[in-house]
Amino acid sequence: MYDSDDMANTDNRPTGAVGPELLGRLLDRHAAALGLYARQWCRTSDDVVQQAFVQLARQRAMPEQVETWLYRVVRNGAISAGRAEQRRRQHETAAAEMACSWFVPSEPPGLDAAAAAAALENLAVDEREVIVAHLWGGLTFQDIAAVTGLSSSTAHRRYESGLRQLRETMTRSEQRRS
C-alpha cells in the first residue's frame, strides 16, 4: 500500500514515523471521506479530521492499518465533539430561555435538502455509519468491524439493511413527486 521509502528514517525520527510526504498523501487521499464520516456525529468534522492527522503525525511509529487507525480516531473524536456540541446547545438554550428577548423571533427558512441526503439522514446511526464508511470511505467490512467493534458480518448486515431502507425511501419519494 505504501512504499518502504514512505517510512524511511531521513531525519533521525524513530523508524516508521510518519513523514510529511506520506502525511500529505494520506491527507489528500482520505480527508474528504473522513470528513463525511465524522459528520454523522458532529458539525465540526473538519476540525476532528485535522486533529486525527495531527495525532498521526505525532505517532512514533506508523500504525499497522493506518486507514483503519484514522477512521477509529476520527470516529472517537467526532463522537466526543458531538457530545460537546449537544451539551453546549443545551446550555445555550437554557441560558437563552432565561434572558429576555429584544427581537421577535422569526421562523427559520425551510431547508431544501436533496431526497437522498434526507433519506440517508433518516437512517439509524449504526446503518448510516457503515454505509458512509463503505461507500465514501472505501473501507472494507473487515475495516469497518475494526473501527466500530462489530463483526464483519454484522457490519455487512447493517450495510444491506441500510441500503434496502434507502431504496424504499427513495422509491416512495419519487412516487410522491410523480
Top-tier CATH class for 1-97: mainly alpha
Q: What is the pLDDT of residues 99-155, one digit of tens each?
A: 665 555 555 443 334 677 788 888 999 999 999 999 889 999 999 999 999 999 999
Spans of all domains in the chain: 1-97, 101-178
User: Which CATH topology does 101-178 take?
Assistant: Arc Repressor Mutant, subunit A (1.10.10)
Calculate the alpha carbon distances from 59 to 27, 49, 108 in Å: 15, 16, 45
Look at residues 28, 123, 37 and name the one whose alpha carbon lies nearest to residue 72.
Answer: 37
Cell of 20: 510529511
- Are the folds of 1-97 and 101-178 the same? no
Across the chain, mean pLDDT equals 83
* d(C-alpha 34, C-alpha 21), whole Å: 19
Query: Which residue in the block uniquely carries the three cell numbers 505517532?
Result: 59
Which contacts (CB < 8 Å, 24+ apart) does range 19-25 have? 23/53, 23/56, 23/57
* Phi and psi based region of residue 109 (left: phi greater than 0; alpha: psi -120 to 50; beta: remaining): beta
pLDDT number for residue 99: 65
Look at residues 113, 139, 147, 116 and name the one whose alpha carbon lies nearest to residue 131.
Answer: 139
* Phi and psi based region of residue 25 (left: phi greater than 0; alpha: psi -120 to 50; beta: remaining): alpha
**Number of neighbouring beta carbons within 10 Å of residue 22:** 20
Which value, to the nearest 10 degrees, does the dihedral of the CA atoms of residues 50, 90, 133, 159 take? Answer: 180
pLDDT number for residue 16: 46
Cell of 97: 430561555
